[in-house]
Chain A
Amino acid sequence: MPSTNAEETNLVLAAEDFEPEEFKKLHRFSANDERVIAKLIAHGPVLLQGSRGSGKSALMREAADRLPVSKADAPALGVYISLRHMPLLRSAGDVYQRILCELLIDRVYRVLDGKLTFDATPTLTSVQGGLTDLARALKKRVVLMFDDAAHIGREASLADFFDVFRTLSSSVVSCKATIYPGVTNFGNRFDVYNDATVVDVVRDEDQPGFSKLFADVVVARFPDLSEKPFAADLRLEEFAGFVGKAVLGNMRSFIFACNNIAATEERSIGLPVLGKCFLEMTTNFYWPLIDEVKPKLGKYVPVVDPAKQIAETLLAECGRLQNTSAIVHRDIVTRLAKAFEILEYVGFISRRESSKAMKSGGRGSRYAINLCMLLESVTGTRLTSELYQKWKASRDEPIQIHSKGVLLADVAMPELAENTEPEILNDSIETIRKSPAYPYGLGDRMIERLHGANIHTIRDLYGAPEAQLDDIPYVGEVRVKQLKNIVAQAIWL
């Protein structure tokens, strides 16, 4: 069994929640990741695009960590700033700009750690001037890495964010930001392809170094697991590569899967352990995940039901034929675009090819299907040796869903209301009770204590000052931090 420390470490899922030393110790990067990190360090505006848990934040943190103020020969000063800040979610226009500038000023102060002065008031012009002066004093560029700027369920303030992004970008200030595929609204004044370079964070099993990266992660984060004996037909790199492929290259899901496998009481890791893990991931992670994400989606909440309908259809059809990918006609993809994007976002599917010829004529996008979920739809729900070999090779022609066929024909897109705030904020704190959707959620006693302290909704909990939480009986410094992490995971995508 993994040690308690390792267990605790592996409960931290978001890169931004790691302490610096732990982050360095536990994160690994592939050759392709290094290319992305270089783009984040280099001059010029970059938008880092990827689904939830794809590793965007880890790449940004790593890039910023390589550019500390103390490193004289670094080409720039890196400032990582997480915009997981509730007032930003609820503001627009000048107010949004002021709050963002305040956060930025505070972050720059912290990064400089008293080694240099930074003079700015919370207005865009002042921050712009302050950063230019700072770059001049440093004799190098300043790289601003805005993480969590895009919130899928809140579009109004994103136009404001991208105004700031564009205004601050200059010959000595390089701005970088994370965005979500398809669903980030940039506003009218930001031309995404002309004003920035978009970099996709994609981990595709066909990329060189895919299996090695996941094997390195197992060694770093699950040393006990990496030393466990593997069954005859598995080696560490094969095991890691196959699990990585099953979760469509999503790092956060991979950690969940490894947590599950590390808890096995079997003496060796073989296909039965993997199969059990996949089925448990489906029941306890993936289906609850879409329910967890739903209330955060703002105006896209009604799209979740059609998205589930699409997922069920794809899984049933691919499961019936034991096939790992599907080509969906582009008319269907266009009609149901937001639903497909949500499924990609939660890691049920991943678009590998935009356009492939279909046998019946026309063209469609090829999606790889999550193998954990697919196993549940395969007759017998067992990961047999034959099935493992078949899925590992993925040589079968993808299944094809035609525009004039019956599959997905009955899925309809709902009307969307504008400017809807994420529902989750008004939900009661019972929503984040420990459950499959919130495996690290609140216990019953904690919920009682929070109610006793007049904290009833997610909004109340997120907005509560640390001192107020610290005053609650049996809640100390560590627990306050945990509470903040739990509620942040509930609000932010």
Chain B
Amino acid sequence: MHPLTTMVVGDVGKGAIGEISAHLAATLDRILDKTLELKKAGDPSDLALFGPFLGRATIEMSLIAITARFDPFRILAIRKSQLAPTFDVTERNPVAFSWVNDVLGEGKPKDWDQKPSLKDIQRAILCKHFNDVFWEEAFTILLDSVPVSRGANWMTALKRIDPEGFTFFMRTTANRVYAELSKGIHTEFVIPAAAQYDPVTVGDLLSRAWELAAALGITTCYSPVVRSLLASDPLECYEQAQEEID
């Protein structure tokens, strides 16, 4: 597996969730390989056309894979709905993974001292409740575990974030990068896209997409509620991923 895939998907297990992880890992590997090929070739038109798609796919696949590790119920439910005989590709799947419901969460989530009921508790991966339950603890452990000289440039930046602000930072970063990438995918542009998606801009967007996925991936690896990697060192993967994209 690609080092970034290893960090976000984790070790491929058994059963239904294992099948999902294997599929996500294979798809993400393919996306990352294609990204590197595209960057290496450096063709401006290809970069403008395909770069934003690959960057956005990297973010989406990574977030789905990380959700599968923290909250397998959500992803297994999607699998069940997709396997059901009534599943129709021409119709919108009401339980499909979505940016608003599964990544950002809706409106203002209730604070714990406001006595939220079960239905008030959100399970979006970058929402406040997910932060309070998973991210803050995982990121705190990461900060205390990483030796000073490890993690290269991305870690220098990551270490400057407070655990309390981790999810907010990731959420705003994800939102910005996702929005910028999405505009390059939509075909409503009637002016040449290459003016805005020039090779430097696309390269920067891809690098930011990888950095975001890697930050969430490595933090996941330090969460006590997620199975640790058996055969890989997440820090090594983190360093390798940035070396490849930068």
A residues engaging B (CB < 8 A)?
Answer: 31-32, 35, 38-39, 41-44, 75-76, 135, 139-141, 171-172, 193-194, 197, 200, 202, 204, 206-208, 351-357, 363, 394
Contacts and interface: CB of A to CB of B under 8 A. Distances in A.
A207 B152 CA distance: 5
A356 B144 contact: yes
B198 A141 contact: yes
A355 B143 contact: yes
Q: Is the interface of B mostly helix, strand, loop or mixed?
A: helix
Contacts of B201: 41-44, 75
- Residue of B143, B176, B195 with most partner-chain A CB within 10 A: B195
B160 A42 contact: no
Contacts of B176: 44, 194, 197
Interface string B105-141: 0000000000000000000000000000000000010
Interface stretch (B34-42, B92-100, B202-210, B222-230): B202-210
Contacts of A171: 196
Interface string B148-178: 1110110011011111000011001101100
B3 interface: no
B153 A38 contact: no
A139 B193 CA distance: 11
B137 to A, nearest CB: 13
A357 B163 CA distance: 11
Contacts of B160: 200, 202, 351-354
Given A39-B204, A206-B150, 13 more contacts: A35-B153, A42-B205, A44-B204, A75-B198, A141-B196, A141-B198, A194-B172, A194-B175, A353-B143, A354-B143, A354-B159, A355-B163, A363-B163
Contacts of B152: 207-208
Contacts of B195: 135, 139-141, 172
Given A356-B143, A356-B144, A204 B161 contact: no
B246 interface: yes
Contacts of A355: 140, 143, 162-163
B199 interface: yes
A354 B161 contact: yes
B3 to A, nearest CB: 16
A38 to B, nearest CB: 5
Contact of B196 (A31, A43, A197, A353): A43
Nearest to A196: B176
Q: Is the interface of A mostly helix, strand, loop or mixed?
A: mixed
Contacts of B198: 42-43, 75-76, 140-141
User: How many B residues are at the interface, by size bracket?
Assistant: 35 or more
B71 interface: no
A200 B169 CA distance: 14
Contacts of B172: 193-194
B180 interface: yes
Contacts of B16: none
B1 interface: no
- Residue of A139, A202, A204 with most partner-chain B CB within 10 A: A204
20 contacts: A41-B200, A42-B198, A42-B203, A43-B198, A44-B201, A75-B198, A76-B198, A139-B192, A141-B195, A141-B198, A193-B169, A194-B175, A197-B173, A197-B176, A200-B160, A202-B156, A206-B150, A354-B160, A354-B163, A355-B143
Given A202-B156, A352-B159, A355-B163, A38 B203 contact: yes
Given A141-B198, A200-B160, A356-B144, A206 B203 contact: no
- Residue of A39, A42, A75, A200 with most partner-chain B CB within 10 A: A42
Nearest to B189: A171
- Residue of B152, B198, B200, B204 with most partner-chain A CB within 10 A: B200
Contact of A42 (B143, B144, B148, B200): B200
B194 to A, nearest CB: 9
A75 B148 contact: no
Nearest to A191: B172
- Residue of B144, B153, B173, B176 with most partner-chain A CB within 10 A: B153
A351 B159 CA distance: 10
A394 B149 CA distance: 10
A202 B159 CA distance: 12
Given A200-B157, A353-B143, A38 B204 contact: yes
Contacts of B169: 193
A238 to B, nearest CB: 16
Nearest to B155: A206
A236 to B, nearest CB: 21
A32 B153 contact: yes
Nearest to B198: A75
A381 B236 CA distance: 40
B149 A206 contact: yes
Nearest to A138: B195
A337 to B, nearest CB: 13
A31 B246 contact: yes
A135 B196 CA distance: 11
A206 B172 CA distance: 27
Q: Which 10 A-B pairs have the closest CB atoms?
A: A75-B198, A42-B204, A42-B201, A43-B201, A193-B172, A353-B159, A206-B149, A354-B162, A41-B200, A32-B153
A140 to B, nearest CB: 6
A396 to B, nearest CB: 11
A394 B176 CA distance: 37
B180 A207 contact: no
Nearest to B239: A208
B143 A35 contact: no
Contacts of A44: 176, 180, 201, 204
Nearest to A195: B176
A75 B153 CA distance: 26
